Amino acid sequence: MTQDRVRALMDVPPKGLSEWYFHPAAERDAVLRRLMLDYEHEAQLDAVLQCDLIP
């Protein structure tokens, strides 16, 4: 969940109930790099902290 993804979902929210999962982290350690190769933990933290994403 990056800022761009959150903005896109807010522009056209899915129908029905939605739950958005974030896996934010300030940095990725060896375990995160090994187990979650494609996750952008730092970008997710940025998305969670952006006040302009709150409607």
Is-contact 48 24, C-beta < 8 A?
yes
Residue with tokens 């761009």: 4
- How much is the pTM? 0.66
Sequence spans of domains, the chain: 3-13+22-53
CA distance 16 to 23: 23
Residue 54 pLDDT? 65
Is-contact 26 43, C-beta < 8 A?
no
Residue with tokens 């939605």: 18
Q: What is the DSSP-derived secondary structure letter of residue 13?
A: P
Helix segments in 1-55, DSSP class H: 3-11, 30-35, 41-49
Predicted confidence (pLDDT) per residue in 1-55, tens digit: 888 888 888 888 778 888 888 888 888 889 988 998 888 889 989 988 886 766 6
